[in-house]
Amino acid sequence: MNYKIKLVIISILTLLFFADNLSSKQLYPIAVNDKVGYIDSTGKIIITPQFETIIQYYELPYKDKKIKAVSFPINSYFSEGLATQRNADYFWFIPLRYHFIIIDEDGKVILPDSDTEIGSFHEGFAPLRMPKKHFQYVYDNYYGYINKKFDIAIEPKYKWAGRFKEELALVFDGKLFGFTDKKDSLAIPIKFKDAYHFSEGLALVSTDKLFGFIDKTGNFAIPEQFTKAWSFNDGLARVLSNNKYLFIDKKGNKAISREFEFASDFSEGLAKIFQDGFYGFIDKSGLIAIPAQFNNANDFKDGLSAVEVNGKWGFIDKNGIFVISPKYDYANNFNGPLAEVWIENQMWYINKNEEKVSKVFWSEKTFLWW
């Protein structure tokens, strides 16, 4: 896997989890000596680093150097005012028991000392993972849901459970996917070989080899016909047909006449395309909004996109004008007031005035074999 693919994966994961889960207070995680804490957008420490949540460190090849990066678990980002943290009881340096807590945005422990790991809250519910154990050996897991009173709303009975989105959640029985509602009723039976969350009223599913879209009654709004497809964003869905990317509307009709060597989903009215060896952006009519000129680029978020030119990253607006000039080794999009950038092999949060606000981490001691 080349360095660009690896960095794009980190960017996508960060965008999906980090942007979606930031709280109203806009708290950002930091790691100090392998302890997780949180800062606000000014860099002020709001919650002192103290939690032993699993932190993963990466060292990725980029150009002629290696970039050090860190990722935090999805559920450690604040969502609907709450975040999950993990601590452990040790014998010497060997963890004997892991236990999970839920904290609020002031760092107050709301739910102490649980053996059950709780995911991020969405629409008032969070998936929970109930381990089956023999002593400390976990030999199986079942998933259900908890509400904000911390009552079990849906008993753990699935082999996997996703977040609620548009009142339904994707669940998996070990073989097939379906959708549950918040009353513990299968709103759409478990029958799909592959499925994704609802987005803009439709969900991407597959019963065999091809993909289509269902509505919330479980009926196909767009029949299975695509070898690969993605969820609807900004009213359009990206599909792969004859090794070309194109866009369809919610009736399954081709919405943009042009086809592309590569295209990303629409975000804030623009979609990234790859043309003649460079990345640019089109609008929803298919016209070129920003000519292909970048070596790499992220989708737009909060009106800006992180892009690479000649090995350095900066930020452009929707007119394609640099508002922060290319000078970083790598950059993720802004999520609220701050963005993650790499400066001289260090990972920083910066603000839109290009000021360094805080390092993201200060050490990398995590024993990944735990």
Helix/strand/coil for 102: strand
Give the separation between CA 142 and CA 128, rounded to whole angstroms: 8
Q: Please count the CA atoms within 13 angstroms of the CA of 164 that sit on its side-chain side.
A: 25
87: closest CA among 41, 34, 38, 131?
Answer: 34
Tally of CB atoms within 10 A around 234: 15
Average confidence (pLDDT) per 10 residues, the chain, 370 residues: 36 39 74 92 95 82 79 92 86 76 94 87 95 64 94 96 98 97 97 98 96 98 96 97 94 96 97 96 97 97 96 96 96 96 92 96 54
pLDDT value for 348: 96
Q: In the numeric block, which tokens belong to residue 293? A: 């000129």
pLDDT value for 12: 34
Percentage of residues of the chain with pLDDT beyond 90 = 72
pLDDT value for 108: 95
pLDDT value for 296: 95
Which neighbouring-strand residues pair with 280?
273
pLDDT value for 99: 83
pLDDT value for 365: 55
Q: In the numeric block, which tokens belong to residue 79? A: 């969502």
Stated pTM of the model: 0.86
Tally of CB atoms within 10 A around 56: 12
Contacts made by residues 313-317, CB under 8 angstroms, sequence distance 24+: 313/341, 315/339, 316/290
| 312-316 sheet: strands from edge to edge | 296-297, 305-309, 312-316, 322-328
Run of H or E including 5: helix 3-13
Q: Rg of the chain over CA atoms, in angstroms?
A: 22
Sign of CA dihedral 29, 33, 34, 37: negative
pLDDT value for 15: 38
104: closest CA among 129, 127, 128, 85?
Answer: 85
pLDDT value for 22: 46
pLDDT value for 137: 59
Give the separation between CA 45 and CA 15, rounded to whole angstroms: 23
